[in-house]
Structure 1
Amino acid sequence: MSAALLSVSGLSVNYGHIEAVRAVDLSLQAGQITTLVGANGAGKSTTLLALSGLVPKAAGKVMFDGHDVSALPAHKLVAAGLVQVAEGRATLTTLTVRENLELGAYTRRDGAAARASDLERMFTLFPRLKERENGLAGNLSGGEQQMLAIGRALMARPRVLLLDEPSMGLAPIVVQGIFRTLREINAGGLTIFLVEQNVRQALKIAERAYVLENGHVVLQGSGRELLDEPRVQEAYLGG
């Protein structure tokens, strides 16, 4: 196996006296979808926030493309190509769909033509956003806001896309569309790290998967292996 594009070793995060994440090790191979699953409160989102530089690490090292990025602030991680789609979408509701997407490219220095080309690519990937291009983001449905959040992150031209609970609060048919889009984005070569409570959907699309319980990795393997793992079936898949 080639060297990981992103690797995490000994990651720990504390909230006061509470150890939310304990000595987590994981790695992402370039071009793959990797997922981190587990129950609500297991520490999944905290792990992602620590990787994004949005919460401080108590311990651990993060290597990205051969460089130690453990101490980089969030905005520099975005510029380096590590971009997160936040839980709850975090769209800027008083701005238009187009303005939200354009803001995703704020770290880029490659010229207006390249950004305009990527904007059109987002409208091709998400036709609903094109239809609502000049409308306020606050008027979008939950599924449309999730599309907008993903599109805004893609406008930064990430090398690794971090997704925090993209299916949260969405109808099943909308969730299917979101996961279909993630497979399409990944097929274009983008590395994806998916934190998700919808364990079945996440394991179906992931080449590599980790199960987090009480802040600690308790199982790892391919998505297919963990789908067939009795402990995962009993705890997360209803039997």
Structure 2
Amino acid sequence: MSTGPLLKVEGLRVAYGHIEAVKGIDFELHEGRITTLVGANGAGKSTTLLALSGLVAKAAGRVVLDGQDLTALSPHRIVASGMVQVAEGRATLTTLTVRENLELGAYTRRDGRAQRAEDLERIYTLFPRLKERADGLAGNLSGGEQQMLAIGRALMAKPRVLLLDEPSMGLAPIIVQDIFRTLREINKAGLTIFLVEQNVRQALKIADSAYVIETGRIVLSGSGHELLGNPKVQDAYLGG
């Protein structure tokens, strides 16, 4: 494992017309770690992820993954390069089966069918509910199952970095615990995770590193543990 960052983001700016949503932020992700970006609604968290994925235009800045400059790449080239996003709201293809959704996740891969079948089984081991529902339509899944499917589909692309946008949104607390437990498990197997999450306490609990974003600027950074104990973070996000 290299000591330098796996992903380095420098001077990232994103504007919607005259409104600057992300104002020149720098951050890095280290291999095999969970990093979280937390902040209030509208602070620029989701916009940051969309810019990393190439889904919104960058006004300035650089995004470099393990020495490869991804800044100007199209979204599918970014996926093929090893960075995959699980979108807010899951974005499952509801008229396809669970299995078809998962298989679609591997669309940028160039390895053999046997390898993809092996990875599909691995996803089913991680999320047994998806195996039970494999031939059913994704639209018939519960919210929690759709979130599992969205994560499973992203994992089928064999990412080096998994970007997650609000995985707990709209889910019952017990399901959220399950999702976060699975994220820890995936991370322990070596996957680097960048988590954007409104549930600040939950995010900081599992994060090795954390950044706080306010109105498009990073205002604090440290370990998840440090920020959990930071009085400013407690006052602003954890109810004191």
TM-score (norm 1): 0.99
Trace 1:70-81 onto structure 2 (pairs within 5 A). 70-81=71-82
- String of CA shifts for 1:208-227, please: whole Å, max 9, x gaps: 00000001000000000000
Residue 48 in structure 1 maps to residue 70 in structure 2: no
Give the total of aligned pairs.
239
Trace 1:222-233 onto structure 2 (pairs within 5 A). 222-233=223-234
- String of CA shifts for 1:18-76, please: whole Å, max 9, x gaps: 00000110000000000000001100000000000000000101111012111111100
In the alignment, which residue of structure 1 is the partner of 2:218?
217
Regions of 4+ moved over 6 Å = none
In the alignment, which residue of structure 1 is the partner of 2:90?
89
TM-score (norm 2): 0.99
Amino acid in the other structure paired with 2:55: L
Amino acid in the other structure paired with 2:57: P
* In 2, Cα distance between equivalents of 1:121 and 1:27: 29
In the alignment, which residue of structure 1 is the partner of 2:62?
61
Amino acid in the other structure paired with 2:173: P
* In 2, Cα distance between equivalents of 1:208 and 1:131: 35
* In 1, Cα distance between equivalents of 2:231 and 2:210: 15
- String of CA shifts for 1:89-114, please: whole Å, max 9, x gaps: 00000000000000000001101000
In the alignment, which residue of structure 2 is the partner of 1:156?
157
Amino acid in the other structure paired with 1:168: M
Secondary structure at 1:232's aligned position in 2?
helix
Measured after TM superposition, the shift of residue 149 of structure 1 is 0.1
In the alignment, which residue of structure 2 is the partner of 1:9?
10
- String of CA shifts for 1:134-180, please: whole Å, max 9, x gaps: 00000000000000000000000000000000000000000000000
In the alignment, which residue of structure 1 is the partner of 2:239?
238
Amino acid in the other structure paired with 1:75: H
* In 1, Cα distance between equivalents of 2:46 and 2:72: 19
* In 2, Cα distance between equivalents of 1:138 and 1:33: 30
In the alignment, which residue of structure 1 is the partner of 2:117?
116
RMSD over aligned Cα atoms: 0.7
Measured after TM superposition, the shift of residue 3 of structure 1 is 1.0
